[in-house]
């Protein structure tokens, strides 16, 4: 690994106070507005040194002598409600009140590595592991009580923080039984789970603990976190993607008291004790950059997807005799769909605080994957993994990998250079301009119909950027600019799923043309790939229905044999009083629906909506959206509902408004005027119907509900106008052009 | 001390440079004098860093998203583009001054009742904008709420819950 040098630093002598501060690195002063977080962090400090083994009960759970339970959770609450839902799961199995359960999230010194928080896996994987730990713990506690009472374990229950004999009599408080000791037990995969029929906590719409703090300004986000002696940093991103520094004129910020420039090769930043001084200095600092023009530009992406450079082709589905079915078809239909690059669009630009001193590093970050990120940042800093601690603090909603890891790397390099803790918050233009983007997608579909209007063959061809196999982490901006070697490649999430029709079509083929790169650095964005794939597949299903002269609901119901799929489709349609029609109403008001069996093996979601198209302006107004959602067992129906509503409205925004604009050099949509999103006056009524299936395992929920939105809208626009929209976003200009 | 050989010999000493101007503010019912090096420093930075009131958030610095909204003499204002010098002698109310978790403003209580936050980064701005509307129109309609909040952006898609909270606080029936 190369060891780049910070240059152009003017280092004054250190005061005694600063020396003491700097050498007393272990004593970190938490200066916090919210006592809740201070207590949480200080309580957390006391447990440093506990096991992080994901196979050990003690990895996940600690019970104090007062019977209070602390959960150590590798998954984090990004606003989706895990902070209540996972304690509900644990409280249920342990037989304790949920108020007596606290949860520590995403701290590499305290929580087991349960994998990144993404793909709606929080409950399905993270929660289920912790539930098993709680069930194992409960059985152990019952064993302890049984031994004390000299009676068989089968005669006891865990209720209300006690292990009680089923036939009445004195109970044993769980805190007494364990005596604040550790369990020393492996997770028992066979530890019995509570019968869902007896659930008292799971399934209840309990309020999230963080909301009172969030609506009164007391909740501490990573943006609000302060460390003693902390400097504020701002990074100057290059004037064009890939540009090199030609010159930095530090005199240009001379008049800004206390601001200093730091340069490590092409990584240029300013630091100052005062945040506004850092912002002002970053604006004033004169840097001359090389002029790079290597990008394809937003108007060139579609052609670029067709042209490659390709890495490989992959056949995802091949069944039946497509050739024969197409040859013998009564009708053939073909269409092409395009989804543009989009940004995560976090309301709060990414932020992190790093304290890198004395061969150790602590990073406070909104990372979705603190354990994974620890390895990445350790490599960047050339430190052993064990010398680095990454602590999760709430960020602004990220919906996939926004700039949070980049901001942490910025802060880490600056802290190391400055020898003091550094907080970096990106500016708006940094987040819009430099967060990794959702990759573009192009799909070409072809279908065949029999003369009695059945779908006999289906072919999907996709052009997609190929995620690099076993890439340890998305390459980060700061190390790249600083000349620190990191593994190159791209990350996208699993973007080729759900390119197949979710219907019984005998002859099917799904083929991907994998492209080696992406037009701008990509990353996972909400429901990676599946939003665009469902847009294409479910719009095209409607195109086939129209060609066959059949009602869109009827043709779908006919193609589904799974009763859970049928149930959500019927319920969604009923919520908007579905009107069967074989041809578009063409009245300016239309209804549409779409369906997904997420990843072909997770949640079932159907969305039906009603929309209005103003022919004179091309404006689309969605009147109401209905969603029927089956994710198996529901842990917290209100938190689930919030996730479903949020996914629907965010995807409506992505469908109506969003496309990253960029020229040959840089992203040009760098604020909310050039990258508009959904606003309140456009917000339709959202109806959510949850199918609760307590006997089924809990499945990933939330992002599945995003995926049917674009097709349901395109299908409603078709019903309203007879016009088919195949390119996102559905801007007024695009709608007008389609109707012309 | 030398954590990164060849780069930094000592911890970087950085002080506030230049002369400081003193500005008399009135924040959440109390007089607060602040010293600033640059009188054009936006109110947001002074609230968050000098006064430790971190409820108002930096979202865009352009007055486009509303995350930084505070009340100035009762009006909802974007503190990210408002120089602190312009606020002298005027009454500033931040989300912290509106209510507390123990004693919330009726709109804050309605946000809790409707669980109207996901990540919550925009929440303070939503509450402040909504509170300004309710101050003027205590029984604001759904349409009035949508209009008032048209300049406040939410990325999590919590709009419907925020509107429900507004409806509830306006004493109307939540549907």
Q: What tokens were used for A132?
A: 């098993």
Residues B94 and B25 reside in one and the same domain: yes
Single residue among B98, B126, B148 that ends a domain in this structure = B98
What is the full DSSP assignment across A35-54? HHHHHHHHHHHTTTTS---T
- pLDDT digits over A439-484, tens only? 999 999 999 999 999 999 999 999 999 999 999 999 999 999 999 9
User: In this structure, is residue B13 part of a structural domain?
Assistant: no
Structural domain span for residue B67: 21-98
User: In this structure, is residue B67 part of a structural domain?
Assistant: yes
Q: What tokens were used for A716?
A: 């409603």
Across all residues in chain A, what is the average pLDDT? 92
Q: Which helix (H) or strand (E) holds A579?
A: none
User: In this structure, is residue B12 part of a structural domain?
Assistant: no
- pLDDT digits over B117-163, tens only? 999 999 999 999 999 999 999 999 999 999 999 999 999 999 999 99
Find the CATH number of the domain harbouring B138: 1.10.150.120
Contact call for A9 and B122, based on CB within 8 A: no
What band does B72 get if pLDDT is binned at 50, 70 and 90?
very high
Mean pLDDT of A484-493: 96
Rounded to whole angstroms, the Cα distance separating A145 from A163 reads 7
Show the CA angle centred on residue A257, arms to residues A252 and A260, nearest 5°: 60
Residues B59 and B111 reside in one and the same domain: no
Mean pLDDT of A91-119: 94
Residue of A nearest to B157 (CA): A646
Q: Are strands A331-339 and A388-392 parallel, antiparallel or unpaired?
A: unpaired
Of B10, B115, B156, the CB nearest to A419: B10
* CATH classification (class only), A308-341+437-739: alpha beta
**Within chain B, what is the greatest distance between any pair of CA atoms?**
67
Single residue among B98, B125, B142 that ends a domain in this structure = B98
Dihedral over Cα of A582, A584, A589, A592: its sign: positive
Residue B8 has pLDDT above 70, yes or no: no
Contact call for A680 and B12, based on CB within 8 A: no
CATH number of A223-291+344-434: 3.30.365.10
Range with the lowest mean pLDDT among A27-41, A213-227, A370-384, A596-610?
Answer: A27-41
Domain spans of chain A? 32-215, 223-291+344-434, 308-341+437-739
Rounded to whole angstroms, the Cα distance separating A228 from A30 reads 7
Cβ A346 vs Cβ A434: under 8 Å: no
Contact call for A679 and B156, based on CB within 8 A: no
Domain A32-215 shares a fold with domain A308-341+437-739: yes
- For chain B, give the number of residues: 175
Dihedral over Cα of A27, A31, A34, A35: its sign: positive
Contact call for A217 and B48, based on CB within 8 A: no
| Contact residues, chain A, for B96 at CB < 8 Å | 216-218
Residue A11 has pLDDT above 60, yes or no: no
Mean pLDDT of A365-375: 96
Instruction: Indicate whether this complex's ipTM tops 0.90.
Output: yes
Residue A12 has pLDDT above 90, yes or no: no
Of B4, B111, B159, the CB nearest to A215: B111
Phi, psi of A29 (to 5 degrees): -85, 125
Rounded to whole angstroms, the Cα distance separating A111 from A126 reads 12
The alpha carbon of residue A735 and the mean position of all alpha carbons in its chain are separated, in whole angstroms, by: 30
User: In this structure, is residue B110 part of a structural domain?
Assistant: yes
Residues B27 and B80 reside in one and the same domain: yes
Rounded to whole angstroms, the Cα distance separating B63 from B69 reads 9
Query: Which residues are A687's β-sheet partners?
Result: A626
| Contact residues, chain A, for B16 at CB < 8 Å | 257-258, 273-274, 277
Q: The CATH number of A32-215 is which of 3.90.180.10, 3.40.109.10, 2.160.10.10, 3.30.365.10?
A: 3.30.365.10
Rounded to whole angstroms, the Cα distance separating A195 from B38 reads 64
Number of domains in chain B: 2
Mean pLDDT of B75-92: 95
User: In this structure, is residue B40 part of a structural domain?
Assistant: yes
Contact call for A215 and B4, based on CB within 8 A: no
Of B12, B108, B145, the CB nearest to A260: B12
Say what percent of chain A tops pLDDT 70.
94
Q: What tokens were used for A36?
A: 């809740």
- pLDDT digits over B154-167, tens only? 999 999 999 999 99
Rounded to whole angstroms, the Cα distance separating A425 from A406 reads 10
Residue A38 has pLDDT above 80, yes or no: no
Q: What tokens were used for A24?
A: 């007393």
Residue A501 has pLDDT above 50, yes or no: yes
Residue B9 has pLDDT above 90, yes or no: no
pLDDT of residue A122: 86
Q: Which residue has the tokens 């530090």?
A: A250
Cβ A376 vs Cβ A476: under 8 Å: yes
* Whether residue A383 has a cis bond before it, omega within 30° of 0: no
Residue A34 has pLDDT above 50, yes or no: no
Q: Where are the alpha helices (DSSP H) in A390-475?
A: 404-418, 428-434
Cβ A27 vs Cβ A45: under 8 Å: no
Mean pLDDT of A320-326: 95
Residue of B nearest to A418 (CA): B12
Of A6, A397, A685, the CB nearest to B118: A397
Contact call for B119 and A397, based on CB within 8 A: yes
Show the CA angle centred on residue A502, arms to residues A586 and A594, nearest 5°: 30
Residue A5 has pLDDT above 70, yes or no: no
Of A161, A131, A157, the closest CA to residue A68 belongs to A161
Contact call for B45 and A275, based on CB within 8 A: yes
Single residue among B98, B123, B155 that ends a domain in this structure = B98
pLDDT of residue A719: 98
* Number of A–B residue contacts, CB under 8 Å: 269
Rounded to whole angstroms, the Cα distance separating A137 from A127 reads 15
B42: helix, strand or coil: strand
Q: Which helix (H) or strand (E) holds A336?
A: strand A331-339
Residue of A nearest to B110 (CA): A215
């Amino acid at each position: 690994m190369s060891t780049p040098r910070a240059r152009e630093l003017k280092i004054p002598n250190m005061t005694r106070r600063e020396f003491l501060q700097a050498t007393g690195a272990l004593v970190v002063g938490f200066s916090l507005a919210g006592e809740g977080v201070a207590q949480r962090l200080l309580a957390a400090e006391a447990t440093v040194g506990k096991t992080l083994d994901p196979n050990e009960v003690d990895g996940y759970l600690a019970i104090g002598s007062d019977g209070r339970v602390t959960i150590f959770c590798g998954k984090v609450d990004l606003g989706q409600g895990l902070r209540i839902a996972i304690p509900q799961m644990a409280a249920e199995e342990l037989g304790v009140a949920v108020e007596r359960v606290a949860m520590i999230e995403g701290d590499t010194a305290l929580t087991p590595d349960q994998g990144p928080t993404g793909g709606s896996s929080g409950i399905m994987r993270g929660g289920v592991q912790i539930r098993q730990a709680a069930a194992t713990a409960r059985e152990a506690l019952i064993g302890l009580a049984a031994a004390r009472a000299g009676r068989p374990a089968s005669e006891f229950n865990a209720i209300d923080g006690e292990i009680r004999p089923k036939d009445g009599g004195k109970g044993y408080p769980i805190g007494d039984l364990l005596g604040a000791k550790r369990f020393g037990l492996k997770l028992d995969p066979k530890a019995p789970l509570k019968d869902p029929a007896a659930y008292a906590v799971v399934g209840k719409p309990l309020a999230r603990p963080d909301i009172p703090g969030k609506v009164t300004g007391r909740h501490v986000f990573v943006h609000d976190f302060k460390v003693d002696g902390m400097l504020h940093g701002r990074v100057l991103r290059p004037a064009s993607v890939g540009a090199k520094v030609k010159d930095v004129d530090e005199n240009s910020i001379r008049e800004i008291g206390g601001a200093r420039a730091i340069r490590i090769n092409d990584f240029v930043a300013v630091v100052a004790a005062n945040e506004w001084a850092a912002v002002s200095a970053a604006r004033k600092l004169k840097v001359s950059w090389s002029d790079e023009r290597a990008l394809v530009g937003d108007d060139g992406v579609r052609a670029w997807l067709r042209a490659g450079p390709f890495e490989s082709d992959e056949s995802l589905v091949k069944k039946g005799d497509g050739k024969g079915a197409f040859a013998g078809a009564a009708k053939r239909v073909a269409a092409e769909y395009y989804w543009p690059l989009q940004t995560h669009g976090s309301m709060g630009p990414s932020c992190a605080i790093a304290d890198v001193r004395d061969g150790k590093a602590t990073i406070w970050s909104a990372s979705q994957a603190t354990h994974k990120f620890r390895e990445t940042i350790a490599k960047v800093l050339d430190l052993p993994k064990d010398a680095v601690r990454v602590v999760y603090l709430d960020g602004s909603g990220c919906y996939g990998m926004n700039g949070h890891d980049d901001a942490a790397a910025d802060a880490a390099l600056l802290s190391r250079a400055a020898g003091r803790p550094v907080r970096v918050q990106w500016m708006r233009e940094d987040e819009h301009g430099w967060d990794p983007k959702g990759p573009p997608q192009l799909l070409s579909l072809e279908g065949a119909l029999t003369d009695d209007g059945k779908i006999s063959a289906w072919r999907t061809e996709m052009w997609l950027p190929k995620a690099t196999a076993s890439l340890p982490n998305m390459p980060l901006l700061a190390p790249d600019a600083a000349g620190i070697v990191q593994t190159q490649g791209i990350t996208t999430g699993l973007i080729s799923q759900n390119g197949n029709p979710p219907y019984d079509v005998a002859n099917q083929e799904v083929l991907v043309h994998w492209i080696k790169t992406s037009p701008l650095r990509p990353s996972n964005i909400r429901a990676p790939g599946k939003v665009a794939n469902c847009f294409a597949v479910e719009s095209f299903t409607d195109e086939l229905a129209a060609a066959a002269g059949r009602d869109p609901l009827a043709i779908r119901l006919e193609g589904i044999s799974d009763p859970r799929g049928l149930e959500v489709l019927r319920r969604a349609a009923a919520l908007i009083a579905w009107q069967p029609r074989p041809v578009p109403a063409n009245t300016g008001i239309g209804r549409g629906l779409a369906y997904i069996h997420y990843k072909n093996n997770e949640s079932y979601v159907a969305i039906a909506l009603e929309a209005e198209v103003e022919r004179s302006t091309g404006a689309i107004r969605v009147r109401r959206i209905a969603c029927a959602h089956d994710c198996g067992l529901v842990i917290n129906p209100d938190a689930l509902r919030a996730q479903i509503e949020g996914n629907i409205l965010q995807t409506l925004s992505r469908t109506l408004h969003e496309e990253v604009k960029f020229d040959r050099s840089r992203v040009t949509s760098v604020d909310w005027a050039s990258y508009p999103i959904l606003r309140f006056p456009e917000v339709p009524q959202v109806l959510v119907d949850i199918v609760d299936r307590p006997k089924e395992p809990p499945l990933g929920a939330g992002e599945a509900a995003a995926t049917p939105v674009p097709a349901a809208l395109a299908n409603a626009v078709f019903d309203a106008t007879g016009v088919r929209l195949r390119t996102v976003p559905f801007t007024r200009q695009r709608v007008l052009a389609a109707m012309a | 001390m030398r954590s990164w050989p060849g780069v930094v010999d000592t911890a970087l000493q950085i002080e506030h440079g230049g002369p400081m101007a003193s500005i008399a503010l009135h924040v959440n019912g109390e007089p607060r004098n602040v010293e600033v090096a640059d009188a054009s420093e936006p109110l947001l930075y002074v609230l968050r860093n000098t006064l430790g009131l971190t409820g108002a958030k930096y979202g865009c610095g352009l007055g486009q998203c509303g995350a930084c909204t505070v009340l100035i003499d009762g009006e909802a204002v974007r503190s990210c583009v408002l120089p602190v010098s312009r606020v002298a002698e005027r009454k500033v109310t931040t989300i912290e001054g509106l209510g507390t978790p123990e004693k919330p403003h009726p709109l804050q209580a309605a946000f809790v009742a409707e669980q109207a936050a996901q990540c919550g980064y925009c929440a303070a701005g939503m509450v402040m904008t909504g509170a300004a509307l309710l101050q003027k129109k205590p029984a604001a309609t759904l349409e009035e709420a949508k209009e008032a909040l048209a300049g406040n952006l939410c990325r999590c898609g919590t709009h419907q819950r925020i509107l429900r909270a507004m409806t509830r606080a306006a004493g109307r029936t939540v549907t």
